[in-house]
Amino acid sequence: DTEVTQTPKHLVMGMTNKKSLKCEQHMGHRAMYWYKQKAKKPPELMFVYSYEKLSINESVPSRFSPECPNSSLLNLHLHALQPEDSALYLCASSQVSGQSSYEQYFGPGTRLTVT
For residues 71 and 50, what is the distance between their CA atoms, to the nearest angstrom? 9
Rounded CA separation 74/22 (Å): 6
The DSSP 8-state label assigned to residue 84 in this structure reads G
Task: Name residue 67's beta-bridge partners.
Answer: 75
Is residue 43 a contact point for other proteins (CB under 8 A)?
Answer: yes
Check binding of 22 to other proteins (CB under 8 A): no
Q: What's the rounded Cα separation, in Å, for the pair 25 and 10? A: 19
| Piece of the chain touching other proteins by CB under 8 A; list 14-22, 50-58, 61-69, 77-85 | 50-58
Write down the least CB distance from residue 72 to other proteins, Å: 17
Asked whether position 107 contacts other proteins by CB under 8 A, the answer is: yes
Residue 13 makes contact with other proteins by CB under 8 A: no
Does 90 interact with other proteins (rule: CB under 8 A)?
Answer: yes
Complete DSSP assignment for 25-60: E-S---EEEEEEE-TTS--EEEEEEETTEEEEE-S-
- 104 belongs to the binding site for other proteins (CB under 8 A): yes
User: Binding residues for other proteins, per CB under 8 A?
Assistant: 2, 4, 6, 31, 33, 41-45, 48, 50, 55-56, 88, 90, 92, 94, 96, 99, 101-109, 111
